Amino acid sequence: MAITQLPNGRWRVDVEPIKGKRYRKNFKTKGEAQRFESTCRNKAIETPDWSPKPKDRRRLSDLVERWAILHSHTLADGPARRRLLDDLVKSLGNPIAIKLTGTQYAQYRTSMLQAGANPKTLNNRLGYLRSVFNVLYQLEEIDYPNPLARVKPLRLQERELGYLTQEQIEHLFSVIHSRCKTPHVAMVAAICLATGGRWGEVQALTPDRVRDGLVTFINTKGKRSRSIPIDPVLQAKILSHFKQHGLLSNCLNSFDQTLAASKIPLPAGQSSHVLRHTFASRFVMNGGNILTLQKILGHTSLAMTMRYAHLAPDHLQDAIRYGPMADFSVFFSNWPS
């Protein structure tokens, strides 16, 4: 008989719709078993090469491994992302991937928040794990939808973007020149302030990428090269620096220590990026176009650049011009003294 009930109450299908092709599977209910038997018979007749696909029993770590093989090489931070995902899988208990639910992830996130985890870090982890499922689904490595698709990121308080005043810039470079043994710190910081480049992008500059009044950044975070105009005086200074001191070295730690020694107050978590924020903030305050700034900074999304829009001289000035109390001279004329 094709369908029999087992001693444990489950139902076993043992069907051979075509000679030499036999399918066996256990189900909780008789109805499920009957549907499977019917499917096997019909599919085998219509498509002789058809075979029921076994259930995906791979664990989350197996999927991360496949993601690493198939996709991580396309990312600038592939190895670091892999290490983070491995830690995340361990924290989640390495469940069978297809059985992972949004509720399970939400419970893990709650426990991490209670333990003092940074909400931004947890949002990043959610995005990275979602990406694993999305990429493998697109590559047809898995055939089930993303189990975390409905888990919403935590809403975060927008972080303050600190920037340096002219006095603070002068003070910072004074401290750099007096404390730093490597000459590269001052040069990298100056280029960051002049171009809005990230510290790592500037550190990677070579003499052939500084010419014709431009510096060209490659291997950028957004995977797009970009060229930024610079003052001829700065170009000459950079090329002279290369001749005298060689290529720019990895000197971020020296800058961090110098910035701390300068005692310049900054929002928590900001270090070399304050130079990039300073360029962007000054650019907007001086009337620069926000779309031009997006291209200079290399942002793939305008939403990232719009964080600086509030610094524009005329930002939201229509609130004064067109609000219901626009003419305060009239309003206050009858105000009790």
Distance of CA 273 to the CA centre of its chain: 16
Token pair listed for 226: 């970009």
What 8-state DSSP symbol labels residue 208?
Answer: G
- Is the C-alpha dihedral spanning 78, 81, 83, 85 positive or negative? negative
| CA 183 to the chain's CA centroid | 32
Distances (CA, A) of 101 to 90, 96, 328: 16, 10, 57
Instruction: Tell me the pairing of strands 11-18 and 21-27.
Output: antiparallel
Provide the annotated active-site residues: 198, 221, 273, 276, 299, 308
Q: Are 220 and 298 in contact (CB under 8 A)?
A: yes
Cα–Cα dist 261/243, whole Å = 30
DSSP class of residue 59 equals: B
For residue 290, give every residue at least 6 positions away whose Cβ sits within 8 Å of its Cβ, in sequence order, or none: 284, 302, 305, 306, 308, 309, 312
Say whether 75 sits in a helix, a strand or coil: coil
